[in-house]
């Protein structure tokens, strides 16, 4: 099974080939962009009934998982003004669904909904407390919250989140001038910076480091300042790609050489500080078969892919890593395993980022009658929490050690929306905050879930 992101790769390669065979101008036009986006939007619904992400677009969801931080205080949020943000949601009903401890923040149309599709792709600690990023129809979007319960959508009076092509913010990290978000502008990578999560600027790209046929999926604060990961495309396929910046504004790009001549595509989906320095996870593709992949770096500049082990990273169909965190025996990565029985969630663990083990698949937890996939993971005081989706909606898994996992039942009220998906999660010392999207009839809207952990 072809990973959804490869739909974009294919469209980009077609566009590049047409340009190369046409008038000699290799720049992809906005017309080619629309074709690429049509392929992307059509790919997920083409999955068989019951598979993860049906009628949603989880392919761009990238998660960075910052370490635990103290609960933001009201004093830290003193910079929030009504003139900078849309009206915040009212505090939600704090009735906790029995047996779960999770609650869905009530939807406010002015904050979470609108024309087209709204989705929150990632969340981090910063600004007034929490800052989240995602998409509002064809424009990027950002949200802020003091406590994870009441949210405001950041205004975009300067138009930095929108343009002629589709914009989407995929990931966010504290760093640079305050916060740095990465994503896409049409078929090119893009970076935005903010001092507070409410006022945003677009990073200029005079050297065309961020533009062109590429996507940025994840970001982390680390030496030499900030490290972002993704992929860059050419007529032969795609390369895993690293961007580094000392300040979030000035960037340098590095393509990671492929280690196997049979590789067609290589994509990094997420990056964290861990192992020998930094760890990036994603997948490689050889002849239509995707295998999970891990890269390591001591400094953010020199990168090496962990040698492929078919028993760990491969399988009869596609395997992908979508997110990684420090926890369990050392590191825990999560993603999908497209096996002969459908699509299931998948987990890998490592003591050091170099030697990896795939957690045996438990049908009751990772597969079974409902196709499942994990899109984010974080360590908290009790172990690990992974987020994602099953065929009937959003889903959460927990583990004390990264090896033994429990799927939180969906019949408890917080996860009862068909078609929902959780893309990312972050934590303070007393609260977990997860973000994604839900569906109501044919409407897709941004959604936040919270769980208090202080008690």
Rg of the Cα atoms in the chain: 20
The Cα 28–Cα 255 span in angstroms is 20
Its CATH class, for the domain covering 5-452, is mainly beta
Predicted pLDDT at 2: 43
Predicted pLDDT at 369: 64
pTM: 0.80
Predicted pLDDT at 226: 97
Is the Cβ–Cβ distance between 345 and 320 less than 8 Å?
no
Closest CA to 397 of 418, 419, 422: 422
Q: In Å, what is the CA distance from 203 to each residue of 123, 210, 421, 438?
A: 20, 9, 30, 31
In order along its 455 residues, the chain shows pLDDT tens digits of: 444 444 433 333 333 333 333 333 332 223 232 333 332 233 332 323 233 333 333 333 333 344 444 444 433 333 333 333 343 333 333 333 323 689 999 989 999 999 889 999 999 999 999 999 999 999 999 999 999 999 999 999 889 999 888 999 999 999 999 999 999 998 789 999 999 999 999 998 866 687 778 999 999 999 879 999 999 998 888 999 999 999 999 999 999 998 888 889 999 999 999 999 999 999 999 877 899 999 999 999 999 999 999 999 998 889 999 999 999 999 999 999 987 667 889 999 999 999 999 999 887 888 766 778 999 999 998 899 999 998 878 999 999 999 999 988 765 578 877 778 999 999 999 999 999 999 877 788 999 999 999 86
Ranges of each domain in the chain: 5-452
């Amino acid at each position: 099974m072809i990973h959804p992101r490869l739909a974009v790769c294919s469209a980009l390669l077609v566009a590049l080939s047409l340009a190369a065979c046409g008038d000699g101008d290799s720049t992809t036009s906005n017309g080619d962009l629309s074709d690429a986006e049509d392929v992307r939007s059509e790919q997920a619904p083409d999955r068989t009934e019951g598979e993860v992400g049906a009628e949603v677009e989880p392919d761009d969801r990238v998660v960075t998982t910052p370490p635990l931080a103290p609960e933001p205080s009201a004093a830290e949020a003193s910079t929030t003004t009504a003139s900078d943000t849309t009206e915040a949601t009212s505090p939600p009903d704090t009735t906790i669904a029995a047996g779960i401890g999770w609650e869905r923040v009530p939807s406010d149309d002015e904050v979470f909904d609108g024309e087209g599709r709204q989705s929150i792709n990632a969340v981090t600690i910063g600004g007034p407390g929490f800052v989240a990023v995602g998409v509002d129809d064809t424009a990027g979007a950002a949200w802020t919250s003091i406590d994870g319960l009441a949210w405001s959508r950041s205004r975009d009076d300067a138009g930095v989140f929108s343009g002629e092509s589709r914009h989407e913010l995929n990931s966010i990290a504290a760093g640079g001038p305050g916060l740095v978000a990465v994503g896409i502008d049409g078929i090119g990578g893009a970076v935005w910076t903010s001092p507070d999560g409410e006022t945003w600027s677009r990073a200029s790209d005079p050297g065309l480091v961020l533009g062109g046929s590429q996507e940025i999926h994840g970001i982390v604060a680390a030496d030499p300042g900030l490290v972002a990961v993704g992929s860059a495309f050419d007529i032969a396929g795609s390369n895993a790609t690293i961007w580094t910046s000392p300040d979030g504004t000035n960037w340098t790009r590095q393509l990671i050489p492929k280690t196997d001549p049979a590789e067609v595509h290589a994509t990094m989906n997420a990056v964290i500080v861990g192992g020998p320095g930094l760890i990036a996870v994603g997948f490689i593709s050889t002849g239509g078969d995707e295998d999970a992949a891990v890269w390591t770096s001591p400094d953010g500049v020199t990168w090496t892919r962990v040698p492929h082990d078919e028993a760990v990273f491969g399988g009869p169909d596609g395997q992908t890593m979508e997110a990684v965190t420090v926890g369990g025996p050392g590191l825990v990565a999560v993603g999908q395993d497209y096996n002969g029985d459908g699509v299931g969630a998948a987990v890998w663990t490592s003591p050091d980022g170099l030697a990896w083990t795939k957690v045996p698949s438990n049908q009751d937890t990772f597969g079974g009658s409902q196709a499942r996939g994990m899109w984010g993971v974080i360590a908290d005081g009790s172990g690990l929490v992974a987020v994602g989706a099953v065929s009937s909606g959003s889903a959460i898994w927990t583990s004390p050690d990264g090896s033994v996992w429990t799927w939180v039942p969906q019949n408890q009220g917080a996860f009862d929306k068909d078609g929902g998906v959780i893309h990312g999660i972050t934590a303070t010392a007393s609260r977990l905050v997860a973000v994604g999207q839900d569906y109501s009839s044919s409407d897709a809207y941004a959604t936040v879930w919270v769980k208090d952990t202080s008690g």
